[in-house]
Every structure is written in structure tokens, then in C-alpha cells.
Amino acid sequence: MLGIHHVGIVVADLDTATEAYRRLGFRLLETLEMPEQGVRIAAFAAGRNYLELLTPLDTESGVARFLAARGDGVHHVAYAVPNLAAALRQLDAAGYELIDREPRVGLHGWRVAFIHPRSCHGVLTELVEVAPASE
């Protein structure tokens, strides 16, 4: 692990939340839709870290279910890794419950994979592959 890459926060009102985080000093990088995941995302940068605000596009996505059950709040924590495939093999061998056994494409074309919250004390955990120098 190279450190925390980003935190994902689910919000009911993306426009209001975006403005709130801009006032906090976060720099909005982009707002985009990922229909295949059923979400609209506002991506921010703060120093060397990122923040994602997520809101559902429909009532069926995992983000929609999260919002209905818990309301606004932290959805996932993402960690940077230098080699995602190797990290997944190590975690699988160590008994972690992987949601993704193979890397998939996430926001900004990043290679990502998720670990089930049951394996991480209730926290949905995302791994993001980055070059070590760009952590």
C-alpha cells in the first residue's frame, strides 16, 4: 500500500455538496456520469489526495441502496497500490473477500478493485493502481 488515494462520499444532492466542498478549498476536477455503475460523480483534488462525491442516477445501483439505507456519508476509502493484480492475489491468499477478483476500469481510467466491507471492519475498500512516484 502506498497510502490513501481518495475517499468516496455518497450524497443526495450533488450540486449542494459540490459547492460545500469547493468552499472548503477542494478543487473540482470534473463532474461526470458513469451509467454502468449508476452514479454521477464530482471528483476533487486536495494536495496529493482526491475526493469523490457520488450520487445515484437510478434507484437500483449500490450507491442508491447505500443512500436509502444510510443517507449521506462516507461510502468507501481507496488505497493506492503499485501493482493491483499482485495486491489482489496477496489479499485473496490472505482470505480477504474480494468483490473484484480482476482489475476493472474506474474513474479517470484508473485500474481499480473493491474488497468487501466484511473483510475490512465494515468499510468498503477500493484499491487503485498508481505508479509509485505518483502516489
For the chain, domains (ranges, CATH) are 7-71 (3.10.180.10), 76-135 (3.10.180.10)
**What are 82's three cell numbers?**
503499485
Dump pLDDT digits (tens) for 7-61. Answer: 999 999 999 999 999 999 999 999 999 999 999 999 999 888 899 999 999 999 9
Q: What pLDDT was estimated at residue 81?
A: 97
Q: Which residues of 9-41 are buried (b: 16+ CB within 10 A; e: fewer)?
A: bbbeebeebbeebeeeebeeeeeeebeebbbbb
pLDDT at residue 135, as a whole number: 46
pLDDT tier for residue 133 given thresholds of 50, 70 and 90:
low
Alpha-carbon distance of 6 to 43, in angstroms, equals: 10
